[in-house]
Amino acid sequence: MQLVIIEDDKWFQLTLENLLETYFPEIKILGTAPNVKAGISLIEKTQPDFILADIQLGDETIFELMSQVETAHNYNFILTTSHENFALEAISHEVIDYILKPVNLENLTIAINKFKRRYKEKKELQQQSFVENAENKMLGISSVDKIEIVNTDDIVYIKADGRYSHFYLLDGTKKVASKNLGEYEKLLPKETFLRVHHSYLVNMSRVKNIHKTDGYYLELFDSTELISVSKRRQEVVVKFLKLKV
């Protein structure tokens, strides 16, 4: 975990650094800044996990920094102040905590523990999202003697062949699966793959052109075959690609 300190009182800045280094060695201090301008520069340069800042910074306030830092809502702020009248504004900015000076170990620990809980929750959500995305990207192609793992992004299209399915991949290879096309239509992400014909399931991100001579045919990147679109699926294809025709 990494933070920056924005504080115009040098003595208080050193006090905070000493408390953090002594009692929270797992937190790395990336730098300090004495005012809004320097604070913005420091945050954009270091991209900290959280920011420990005084509210009153000379003639400016930390809220001015929050309004100027791009995607400030992605940062976690713990604010310190000698003035109680900033409490409502601090709450409106959804800060982690609001500490009245003088800051001591007890109230600093409470604030940092709040940050740690939020940090842990964020990491768990990111991990869950990563796992879900990874699971959604991988597909097992079952043949008689093995299951081959492919990334769904590498699939250009799938062609039905009775109870078998032929996978055509980005690298030009073809794989045969012992499941019918309907099974893979259920498994593959519907935001990317579309059944354009009873014989074809297409990765629509690979569509290059639509040919309209004697029906609709899809020209795909990474393939020389034109994919026939059934008459009843032509309008669905146009809507799926969000085309204005």
CA 228 to centroid of chain Cα atoms: 36
Separation CA 137–CA 73 (nearest Å): 30
CATH of the domain at 130: 3.40.50.2300
Q: How many domains does the chain have?
A: 2
pLDDT of residue 163: 86
- Is the domain of 63 the same as that of 96? yes
Residue span of the structural domain in which 202 resides: 143-240
> Are residue 127 and residue 16 in the same domain, yes or no?
yes
Q: Is 190 within the bounds of a domain?
A: yes
Averaged pLDDT score across all residues of the chain: 86
Is residue 185 domain-resident? yes
User: Is there a single domain that holds both residue 28 and residue 120?
Assistant: yes
Taking alpha carbons only, the member of 64, 57, 62 closest to residue 98 is 62
Q: Where among 134, 161, 188 does a domain terminate? A: 134
For residue 154 the two structure tokens come to 């590498």
The most distant pair of C-alpha atoms in the chain lies apart, rounded to whole Å, by 81
Residue 56: name the closest of 106, 12, 104, 109 by CA. Answer: 12
Q: Is the pLDDT of residue 182 over 80?
A: yes
Same domain, 118 and 201: no
Kindly state whether residues 119 and 170 are assigned to the same domain: no
**pLDDT on residue 131:** 52
**Domain-ending residue, one of 134, 151, 182:** 134
CA–CA gap between residue 181 and residue 164 (Å, rounded): 7
Compute the distance between CA of residue 221 and CA of residue 118 in angstroms, rounded to an integer: 44
Residue-wise pLDDT for 211-232, tens only, equals 988 889 999 998 889 999 999 8
Q: Per the structure block, which two tokens stand in for 141? A: 């192609």
Is 9 in the same domain as 129?
Answer: yes
Q: What are phi and psi of 208, to 5 degrees?
A: -100, -50
CATH number at residue 228: 2.40.50.1020
- Same domain for 43 and 123, yes or no, is yes
**pLDDT at 71 exceeding the cut of 60:** no
What pLDDT is stored for residue 136 in this prediction? 64
Residues 111 and 34 in one domain: yes
Q: What number of helices (H) and strands (E) belong to the chain?
A: 7, 17
**Residue 28: is its pLDDT beyond 70?**
yes
pLDDT at 244: 56
22 lies in some domain: yes
pTM of the predicted structure, to 2 decimals: 0.52
Whether residue 202 is contained in a domain is answered as: yes
Q: What is the pLDDT of residue 139?
A: 86
- Neighbouring C-beta atoms of residue 34, cutoff 10 Å: 17
Asked whether residue 32 is assigned to any structural domain, the reply reads yes
Residues 54 and 6 reside in one and the same domain? yes
Asked if residue 245 belongs to a domain, the reply is: no
Higher pLDDT, 22 or 132: 22
User: What per-residue confidence (pLDDT) applies to 72?
Assistant: 47
Q: Distance between CA atoms of 184 and 177, rounded to whole angstroms?
A: 10
Residues 38 and 102 in one domain: yes
233: in domain: yes
Contacts of 105 (CB under 8 A, 6+ apart): 19, 23
Residues 55 and 123 in one domain: yes
pLDDT at 5: 94
> Domain ends where: 134, 160, 195?
134
Count Cα neighbours of 204 within 13 Å in the Cβ-side half-sphere.
18
84-107 residue pLDDT tens: 777 777 776 778 888 888 888 998
- Residue among 217, 212, 206 at smallest CA distance from 241: 206
Whether residues 121 and 222 share a domain: the answer is no
pLDDT at residue 227, as a whole number: 95
